[in-house]
Amino acid sequence: MTSIREGRPVMRKRAAGPSGWMVAPALGFFLAFAIVPLLLALYLSFTTWDAISDPVFVGLDNWPRVLSDPVTINAILLSLKVVVISWVVQTPISLLLGVFTAGRQKYRGVLAAIFFLPLILSSAATAIAFKAILDPNFGLGASLGVPLLKQNWLGNQDLILYVVIFVIAWQFVPFHTLLYQGGVRQIPASLYEAAEIDGASRVQQFFHITLPQLRYTIITSSTLMVAGSLTYFDVVFILTGGVPSQAINILPIAMYVTGFSAGQFGDASVIAIILVVIGLVLALGLTKLTGFSRMTSQQEGL
Amino acid sequence: MKLYSLLKTDDASGAPRSRRLLKTAIAIGAAALLLGATACSSTGATAGAASGGATMWGLSGPDQDKVEGPSLTDWNKANPTSQVTANYFANDAYKTKIRTAVGAGTAPSIIYGWAGGTLNSYVQAGKVVDLTSATDGIKAKYLPSVWGQGVVGGKTYAVPMNAVTPIMFYYNKDLLKQAGIEAPKTWDEILAAIPKLKAIGVAPFSLAGGSKWPSLMWEEYLVDRVAGPEAFNAVMAGTPGSWNDPGIIKANTMIQQLVDAGAFVDGFSSVTADSNADVALLYTGKAAMMLQGAWVYSTFEKQAPDFTKNSLGYTTFPAVTGGKGDPNNIVGNPSGYFSVSASATPDQQKAAIDYLTKGVFDEAYTARMLAANQVPPLAGIGSKITGGTASFGGEVYALTEAAPNFQMSWDQALPPAQGTALLSNLDQLFNKQITPQQFSDNMNKTIGQ
């Protein structure tokens, strides 16, 4: 409650700013490309439709069936697993790399440029490259003759989830590193100077200045990570040759397979709505929990 | 996120002015959408009706370059009143695109397809034209087993248009010789070959398990050899519990027996067919044998011409002693098919039917296919095949002609929902996550979907 009250003056100030009409084009696009398709999917979730004949309205028939299907439950759990593990893996790496590359030394600039490379490759290219590298018979492991690398990476049902999380991390850590690099460079040098005078060590400076000052960057990056890994599709699809196995049947994949391979667009729409709900809950939860919407300044008194 | 901040802004200001604004914005958005929709439908209509000639969608690749493309050029020159214009798409993209186009009524006049479950759903929805009387005169030209796939409920809805491609049993002659064995002719010989091939350090079988559908070839052949075509016919007929056929369970037990014996290459579930990694395993000498479609022969020729000439052997799937199925039965893709869209204009339908009955498999069309080493699904052309009966094409044709039953690939034959469930369950069967009985139980649940 107090949080909303505190937020009010800020909002009011914004409403008095430029004309509200400026939101119209964005709103139009948002309606046309997000809300209308969403409503269509909601409608389709109450029908059976094979994309060839006309949709047949079946009321709530699809919902209990899809929700109680072990495949769907497995897909929800897998998606949440991907979200959580991706966050746990990517956040520390990109935070540390971001802090490291924020330094002004030349070699760090060079390294930053190298770290940045995976981001400019398209997801499809990344997936095709990793598929070739991980091939058990012709891939890197087999050609180098290193038995440890010669695993059934994409076929072993216990490994594939982690392989996918690794590839996602490889591709997106550079992006989050960039966010953190920008965040670190915004921190006023005077804070560090003061800390140094007080005799704080480097590690103490990191935990007491850098980390608290990066709070909002962490929230932004986490929100993007969570939303991104929840809807991750292309790399998984290509890595598995277009026919993903149950062990990597995350929600977006389950949705695609149910819709476009099995031709059950009603059931696929149910999964789509589940995906939207989970995404909204996670994004809202994250902003609520962290007080991101308040956006109070971290630099008061400077 | 966006939705949330929008709502918040509204809530915070609370002024009637912004409400009105929101309403106006919604109206503008709706108007834009309507505009978009009408623009779409009008282009759709003009694209179809502009020329009066028929449109056609096909698959890009050798068919387009060597057969359909040149054939259409000739046809359009010779038939100014029945013009056909074609667009070509990649295989996987096409499968999704054609489905939505047929459903939305924007399909081309000539629809390429694989018959089976998809054709059935087109027929049920009234999306394709009955070709029975129009094709009466040309029916006799085709192999009956291939022609029959385009017939639904006694009426012809699709005509064959490209090569016969059964699933073949390929082997590396050098490796078999090295292991001191012949190409297996029975199930017991397969089992006996496995330890011998492993002893010389090669994988007995290459398998693109990652793509799932190559695993299905094992299932199809083993079920046929053990239980005969009747077992799968019962599934196709939608008989409840038909996956519980003892023959199907036995065939699946045999598959897991192969997996246990290490018959398939290490990490087979990571190998995918779209990168031709399974074919490469055979010609690089890492695996000795492979079950794959006749269509991979051209990949062998392209990627390893010397190997193909000297060391590549091919035959049909071995017999299973005591099994009910005729060892001459084959499975695979009988052909690709052309149908005529019911949403095309009468003029377009006429042009399309003209081309399907007079242009497809006219003399030049057949000659082009033969020149490209493809096997046309026509009766009595065995002697015309390039390289004669000793060649790969000759072998494929002989097998097809002699086959009492040509079973279409199950994932094509079944309705899409069952086909998808089949591939998923088969993957788990090969990975030993489920037992043959669980496989049958899971599949029984899909009957009727």
Instruction: For A12-31, write each residue's pLDDT tens digit.
Output: 555 567 888 889 999 999 99
Give the residue on B whose Cα is nearest the Cα of A4.
Answer: B12
Number of Cβ atoms within 10 Å of the Cβ of A215: 14
Model confidence band, residue A253 (pLDDT cutoffs 50, 70, 90): very high
Q: What angle do CA B179, B182, B187 make, to 5 degrees?
A: 105
Q: Please name which of B281, B319, B287 lies closest in space to residue B189, comparing C-alpha atoms.
A: B319
pLDDT in tens, B276-308: 899 999 999 999 999 999 989 988 988 999 999
Greatest CA separation for chain A: 76
Q: Are B369 and B353 in contact (CB under 8 A)?
A: no
ipTM over 0.85: no
Nearest CA in chain B to A128: B275
The string of pLDDT tens digits covering residues A178-214 is: 999 999 999 999 999 999 999 989 899 999 999 999 9
pLDDT for B389: 66
pLDDT at A260 over 80: yes
Positions of chain B with pLDDT lower than 70, given as ranges: 1-52, 386, 388-389
Can you give the pLDDT at residue B3?
A: 38
Instruction: Calculate mean pLDDT across residues A58-78.
Output: 93
Encoded tokens for B362: 């006219």
pLDDT of residue B65: 84
Provide, as residue numbers in chain B, all residues whose Cβ is less than 8 Å from the Cβ of A243. 210-213, 423, 427
* Chain B hits for A21, Cβ within 8 Å: 21
Split at pLDDT 50, 70, 90, the class of A294 is low
Return the pLDDT at A301: 59
List the one residue out of B337, B411, B413, B398 whose CA is nearest residue B168: B398
Q: How far is A246 from chain B (nearest CA, A)?
A: 7
Query: Contact B289/B169 with Cβ under 8 angstroms?
Result: yes
Query: Which of B:327-366 have CB within 8 Å of A?
Result: none
Nearest to A53 by CA among B104, B238, B351: B104
Burial class (CB in 10 A: 0-12, 13-18, 19+), B36: exposed
Cα–Cα distance for residue pair A8/B28, rounded to 1 Å? 29
Q: What does the DSSP 8-state code read for residue B54?
A: E
Strand partners, B181: none
pTM listed for this prediction: 0.83
Token reading at B291 = 């079950």
Please report which residue ranges of B266-320 form alpha helices under DSSP H: 277-283, 297-303, 305-310
Note whether A245 contacts B272, CB cutoff 8 Å.
no
With beta carbons less than 8 A apart as the criterion, state whether A31 and B29 touch: yes
Q: Does B81 touch chain A (CB under 8 A)?
A: no
By CB atoms closer than 10 A (0-12, 13-18, 19+), residue B71 is buried
A101-124 average pLDDT score: 88
CB-based contact B210 A31, cutoff 8 Å: no
Which among B30, B99, B433 is the nearest to A51, CB-wise?
B99
Question: What CA–CA distance (Å, rounded) separates B58 from B359?
Answer: 15
| B112 DSSP β-pair partners | B338
Radius of gyration of chain A (CA): 23
The answer to whether the CB of B98 falls within 8 A of the CB of B66 is no
| For range A107-114, the mean pLDDT | 88
Say how many residues make up chain A: 302
End-to-end CA distance of chain B: 37
CB atoms within 10 A of CB A14: 12
∠ at Cα A163 (A160, A164), nearest 5°?
90
Residue A298: pLDDT band with limits 50, 70, 90: low
Q: Is the pLDDT of residue A149 over 90?
A: no
Q: Is the pLDDT score of A61 beyond 50?
A: yes
Residues in CB range of A147: below 8 A, 6 or more apart: A141
> Looking at the partner chain, which of A32, A156, A284 has a beta carbon nearest the beta carbon of B4?
A284
